[in-house]
Structure 1
Amino acid sequence: MRDMYEVMDMWGAWAAAECSGVDWQPIAAGFKGLIPHGKKSRIQCDDDEGIMIDGCVARLRKQKPEEYELVIAHFVVGISLRTIAKKQKCSDGTVRKDLQTALGFIEGMLAILS
């Protein structure tokens, strides 16, 4: 079983480096003006895995748009969960639960594709 947080972090680096075939917004909606925590030299996934995860994230966008925004803001843009929680005026725990929901959805999609 893979560590989905690590997988998504590598995918986020890959997507941020403009390897993604999907046109991700440079800043997720509602998070303009927030400064990313600045992971410039991150390890990226390979193109095959990146494309597969892109498909799963695109499906997440259709099914759970709020969780999609969270995934993009955190993994691609690099905004910390604490900053996202402050922006949404909710607790860190709520944001972490939403992120877990998104990661579970993506992991399930990857399991189906494998």
Structure 2
Amino acid sequence: CCDDDAMIICGCMARLNKNNSDLHDLLMDYYVMGMTFMMLARKHGCSDCRIGRLLQKAEGIIDGMLMMLDIRLEME
């Protein structure tokens, strides 16, 4: 991942945080903090299956933002 990719993803994450802070926090906990599904389930008070679905939703939102911006990341 290069600096340009990081800036693009950071912008998408900032927009997600503005519109849905719960999904933003979930992505941060999973990818940055390295929490497992079970740890996330305990923290958010739900099942690990629900965490999986929420992560897919959050990742899909970020992917959709990248598609709408018509941006191709260098790491792809």
State the partner residue of 1:48: 4
> What residue in structure 2 maps to residue 106 of structure 1?
62
Gaps of 5+ in 1: 1-44
| Pair 1:60-2:21 in alignment | no
RMSD of aligned residue pairs (Cα, Å):
0.9
**SS of residue matched to 2:13:** helix
The aligned runs of 1:1-114 (5 Å cut-off) are 45-113=1-69, 114=71
**Aligned mates of 2:16, 2:57 — CA distance in 1:** 10
Q: For residue 25 of structure 1, what is the aligned residue in structure 2?
A: none
- The residue type equivalent to 1:52 in the other structure is I
CA distance in 1, matches of 2:45, 2:62: 26
List runs of 5+ in structure 2 lacking aligned partners: 72-76
Structure-1-length-normalised TM-score: 0.58
Answer 1 or 2: higher relative contact order, Cα 8 Å, separation at least 6. Answer: 2
Deviation at 1:78, TM superposition (A): 1.0
Offset at 1:88? 2.0
How many pairs were matched up? 70
The 3-state SS of whatever aligns with 1:78 is coil
Structure ranking higher in helix proportion: 2
Q: Structure 2 length normalisation: TM-score? A: 0.85
